[in-house]
Amino acid sequence: MSATKVPTIPQALKSAVNAYLLARTLTEVEREKVDAIQRRVLAQAAYRTDPKWVDREGETITEPDRAYLLCDSDHTDYLLAVRQDLEAAGYDIKGAPGEARHSYFCPALQAETLQTETEHAVIDAVGEMLREGPDFRHKLLCVGLDKYHEFVELCVKLVVNLPGFKPPTIVTAD
């Protein structure tokens, strides 16, 4: 019986995992801060669901992930109030050129996008290591988001449990 050769973990995967860990940390921090601001805005204004949502008419919206239930004018007011509070909290909020002031780049969504990009880097590095084709990430997504995220976590665990692994360092400006 011959021994199966275990592939060497490439530096590209180690680097992708480090980037992912940093991006995930940023996402968790930004999501917590932004959600707190959004909840505060929702609580202060006592926004209610749009009457077009017959099964939810008149409900008070208290959670940011339910803000889509607001009527258009309330949603615009909500987004403007959130932007104002984000700026007051020190965020430099940018919007797309030519877009209305209530259409801006949310710091939490930007962090989540970065995390997704680093997940792609992890998957691509593993796909290359395993000599999978260029559509490996697509095939993985086709089996479902739960399996996709489980795969990313397994890849991360593979790297962080290597002997001598040093987690990325976050340097803050004092």
**Model confidence pLDDT, tens digit, residues 44-67:** 988 988 888 767 667 889 999 999
Type of residue numbered 64: P
What pTM, to 2 d.p., does this model score?
0.85
Residue 95 φ/ψ, nearest 5 degrees = -125, 165
Nearby residues of 130 by Cβ (< 8 Å), 6 or more positions away: 7, 136
CA 63 to chain centre: 18
Convert the pLDDT of each residue in 73-85 to its tens digit.
Answer: 999 999 999 999 9
Closest CA to 104 of 120, 86, 130: 86
Convert the pLDDT of each residue in 112-161 to its tens digit.
Answer: 999 999 999 999 999 999 999 889 999 999 999 999 999 999 999 999 99
Q: Is 126 helix (H, G, I), strand (E, B) or coil?
A: helix
* Residue 173's pLDDT band (cuts 50, 70, 90): low
pLDDT at 149 (0 to 100): 96
pLDDT at 1 (0 to 100): 52
DSSP annotation of 170 reads: P
DSSP annotation of 68 reads: G
What are 73's two structure tokens? Answer: 């004018």
Say yes or no to pLDDT of 4 above 90. no
pLDDT at 54 (0 to 100): 64
pLDDT at 2 (0 to 100): 54
Convert the pLDDT of each residue in 6-43 to its tens digit.
Answer: 568 999 999 999 999 999 999 999 999 999 999 999 99
pLDDT at 38 (0 to 100): 97
Contact 130, 7 (CB under 8 A): yes
Stretch 88-92: mean pLDDT, rounded?
Answer: 95
pLDDT at 80 (0 to 100): 96
Closest CA to 124 of 146, 147, 155, 150: 155
> What are the extents of the domains in the chain?
15-160
